[in-house]
Amino acid sequence: MPGDFATEILGQSATKSSVEALRSELGLDKHPIPRYFEWLSNVFQGDFGSSFSGRSKVQGDQGDRSRLVVELIIPRLKNTLFLTGVSALVAIPLALLLGISAALYRNSVYDRSATGFSLVTVSSPEFFTGYIFILLLATLFPVFPTIANVNEDTSLIDRFYLTALPVFTLTLVTMGHMMRMTRSAIINILSSEYIEMAKLSGATRYEVIVKHALPNAWAPIAQVITINLAYMLIGSVVVEFVFNYQGIGRLMVGSVYNRDIPVVQACALIFASTYVILNLLADLIGIISNPRLLYPK
């Protein structure tokens, strides 16, 4: 990124000396390596520092409105977690159900239309899907609001109502991927010999899928679900922007505009650790669902 907080906030007409003064006050003039370790050691102690923006331009001014990064992030993070949580609760069961039933009625009209439709939704970017929803459900048939404007006082019911369109959008973009993976994981297993054996011992279609195929499919399914959970959390940047939702994604984009580095760093750290933790979770599910790994020879 060209420029830093000092040049950005003081504008183009700023004198060189005032820029220098602000830089030294924020510590931007120090060498990057000690700055990195200072930041890292603070993070380990739970101190993400203070936001650059909102601070007074004059040193020692009583009206300093600079806020701690943590204070800034927590309410936004809660909003984002609410949005992705609700979307996940809708998308995951729906995807599993559709994936399993598509595998069950493989190559039927139902299977073909479900996989075809999911391909369309996976291929459409969030902003496009989002605006289509706005056009359909907010403009042509005004059922839901276009702007998901929530604050701390919004009641739970209102929150569901306000976030309906963002939830639909996130569900639609991630569900297709999960559904297709569930379907192919199960179909893959359906061709194995123990499935034929199960059929020949009189197992019903339902039993074959749920008792024999699904337990062996958890590992790949968990993998795709966690990837999509991470995607929802991070992909919500775009959706939050479209619906003007006060989540962590919007905060990050705004902070990048202002070169408010402490906030950007904290957001990036949250996003990165989400990926790591969710992937770890998928691996754990893979181990727990596989007796070969759970019980030694």
Partner 1 sequence: MTSNNKKELLLEMKNIHIDGFSDERWHKILKGVDLNLYRGEILGLIGESGAGKSTMGKAAMGYTQPGCKIIKGEILFNGTDLAKLTEFEKRKIWGTKISYVAQSAAASFNPAHRLMDQTISAANRAKINPTEVLRKDAVQLYESLQLPDAENIGERYPHQVSGGQLQRIMTAMAMSPRPELIIFDEPTTALDVTTQVEVLSAMRSIVDKFNTAAIYITHDLAVVAQMADRIKVLRYGEEVEESETREMLSNPKEEYTKSLWSVRSLIKPEETNEDYMLSIKNIDAAYGSSKVLHNVSVNIPRGKTVAIVGESGSGKSTTARVITGLLPQTKGEIIFDGKKLSPKLEQRSKEELRRIQIIFQMPDTAMNPKQTVDEIIGRPIEFYHGVKGKEREAKVIELLKMIELDESFLDRLPSELSGGQKQRICIARALAANPDLIICDEVTSALDQIVQEGILKLLQKLQKDLGVTYIFITHDIATVKAISDEIVVMYQGEVVEQGLKSKILNPPHPDYTELLLSSVPEMDPDWLTNLLNKRSS
- The residues that touch partner 1, with contacts defined as CB under 8 A, are 192-194, 196-204, 207, 211-212, 215-216, 289-292, 295, 297
Q: How far is the CB of 219 from partner 1 (least distance, A)?
A: 11
Q: How far is the CB of 104 from partner 1 (least distance, A)?
A: 13
Closest CB to partner 1 among residues 11, 291: 291
Using the structure block, give the residue that is written with the tokens 């073909």: 112
d(CA 98, CA 61): 60
d(CA 175, CA 178): 5
Q: What is the 3-state secondary structure (H, E, C) of 53-116?
A: CCCCCCCCCCCCCCCEHHHHHHHHHHHHHHHHHHHHHHHHHHHHHHHHHHHHCCCCHHHHHHHH
Closest CB to partner 1 among residues 116, 296: 296
Q: How far is the CB of 205 from partner 1 (least distance, A)?
A: 8
Q: How far is the CB of 217 from partner 1 (least distance, A)?
A: 10
d(CA 219, CA 283): 8
Q: How far is the CB of 216 from partner 1 (least distance, A)?
A: 5
Closest CB to partner 1 among residues 188, 265: 188
DSSP state of 150: -
Closest CB to partner 1 among residues 268, 288: 288
Closest CB to partner 1 among residues 257, 295: 295
